[in-house]
Amino acid sequence: MKDIVKIIAGVRKKVGKLTIEWHEDLNPFQLLIGTVLSQRTKDVNTDKATSQLFSKFRTPEQLAKADLREIMKLIKPSGFYKTKARYIKKISKIIVEKYNGKIPANRELLMGLPGVGAKTSGIIMVYGFGKPSAIPVDVHVHRISNRIGLVKTKKPEDTEIELMKFVPKKNWIELNELFVLFGQNVCIARNPHCWECPITRYCDYYRNIYSKKN
């Protein structure tokens, strides 16, 4: 078993001073909408879409009443904007009508909302409510966990289940953000920057590449 505490510490030392800008200072509802917008797009596009949307509509009540075409226009930078706009409007209506305008702090209820899956619900529980009840797994966390050799999984959902078995619960909240930042800046999808990676000693990918070169 790899030393996950030392791996997290190494990643923290490398990228701990960086931040995921788009979800700073958002309340749970805005974080939920922002996470829906972040699906299948780059952070820079999410940042632009959330900024444009929240500059005009900031509450579930406002978005529930908003014109669908206007929502589409505001979130267009995020991609798949027509589908995402429909999700956003439906989510807002449900939050208003069923939950009195407040996001439920319950993962199962969150996953019952349109367009909300395991990753999105996990992010809301962790970053929106500060509850270490999940390890949100996006493409970065899934890729890095498999690349290092922490897990051997096909789907992000399975990666979360496996990580939760051995990652100390006190580290659940920070693991997602650290691995996302690490995946954006060092352990990128193609041609990872292994020369600046602080955890090569624990990495199966690095060991395999190094052994082939020697």
Q: State in words which class domain 21-128 has.
A: mainly alpha
**What pLDDT shows up at residue 213?**
62
**What pLDDT shows up at residue 10?**
97
**What pLDDT shows up at residue 42?**
83
In this structure, which topology does domain 4-18+135-213 adopt according to CATH? Endonuclease Iii, domain 2 (1.10.1670)
**What pLDDT shows up at residue 121?**
93
Write out the residue limits of the CATH 1.10.340.30 domain(s) in the chain: 21-128
Q: Which residues of the chain have pLDDT under 50?
A: none
Distance CA 191, CA 124 (A): 31
Condensed to tens digits (0 to 9), the pLDDT of residues 108-156 reads 999 999 999 988 999 999 889 988 888 999 999 999 999 999 999 999 9
Q: Which of 75, 1, 2 has the alpha carbon at shortest distance from 38?
A: 75
Write out the residue limits of the CATH 1.10.1670.10 domain(s) in the chain: 4-18+135-213
What are the structure tokens assigned to 145, written together? 């966990």
Decide: 148 and 121 in contact? Cβ < 8 Å: no
What are the residues whose beta carbons fall under 8 Å from the beta carbon of 186, sequence distance 6 or more? 14, 15, 192, 193, 196, 197
Alpha helices in 66-193 (DSSP H): 68-75, 81-99, 107-110, 118-123, 139-148, 156-166, 172-185
What's the predicted TM-score (pTM) here? 0.81
**What pLDDT shows up at residue 79?**
96
